[in-house]
Amino acid sequence: MSMFKKMEISDTKSDKKPEGETEKVKCLIIGSGPAGYTAAIYAARANLNPVMYEGLEPGGQLTTTTDVENYPGYPEGVTGPEMMEDLKKQAGRFGTDIRPGIATASDLTASPFKITVDDSKIIEADALIIATGATAKYLGMESEQKYMGSGVSACATCDGFFYKNLDVAVVGGGDTAAEESLYLAGICKKVYLIIRKDHMRATKVMQERVMEKENIEVLFEHVTKEIVGEGGVVTGVILQNGKGEEVRKDISGFFVAIGHTPNSGIFKDYLETDEVGYIKTIPGTAKTNIEGVFACGDVMDPHYRQAVTAAGTGCMAAMDTERYLGTRKF
Looking at the annotation, which residues are catalytic?
Answer: 155, 158-159
274 near ligand NDP (CB under 6 A):
no
Nearer to ligand NDP, 189 or 196 (CB): 196
Q: Binding to ligand NDP by residue 173, rule CB under 6 A?
A: yes
Asked if residue 84 binds ligand NDP (CB under 6 A), the reply is no
Q: Please state the closest distance from residue 162 (CB atom) to ligand NDP, in A.
A: 22
Task: Please tell me the count of residues contacting ligand NDP according to CB under 6 A.
Answer: 15
Task: Determine, following the binding rule CB under 6 A, whether residue 238 of this chain makes contact with ligand NDP.
Answer: no
Q: Is-contact 68 79, C-beta < 8 A?
A: yes
Q: Which residues contact 86 (CB under 8 A, 6 or more apart)?
A: 78
Angle between helices 34-45 and 80-93 in degrees, nearest 10 = 20
By the rule CB under 6 A, 92 interacts with ligand NDP? no
In the region spanning residues 122 to 161, those forming contacts with ligand NDP, defined by CB under 6 A, are: 139
- Distance, CA of 114 to CA of 128 (rounded, Å): 9
280 part of the interface to ligand NDP, by CB under 6 A: no
Q: In sequence order, which ranges of the chain are alpha helices (DSSP H)?
A: 34-45, 80-93, 142-146, 156-159, 175-185, 204-212, 307-326
99 SS3 class: strand
Cα 286 to Cα 39: distance, rounded to the nearest angstrom: 11
- Smallest separation, CB 247 to ligand NDP (Å): 15
Least distance (Å) between residue 187 CB and ligand NDP: 18
Interface pick for ligand NDP out of 177, 296, 300, 311 (rule CB under 6 A) = 177
The H-or-E segment that residue 261 falls in is strand 260-262
Q: Which of residues 282-321 bind ligand NDP (CB under 6 A)?
A: 302
8 A C-beta contact, residue 154 and residue 306: no
How far apart, in whole angstroms, are the C-alpha atoms of residue 73 and residue 192?
Answer: 34
Counting contacts by CB under 6 A, is residue 172 touching ligand NDP?
yes
Q: How far is the CB of 248 from ligand NDP (least distance, A)?
A: 18
Binding region for ligand NDP (CB under 6 A):
139, 171-177, 179, 196-197, 201, 258-259, 302
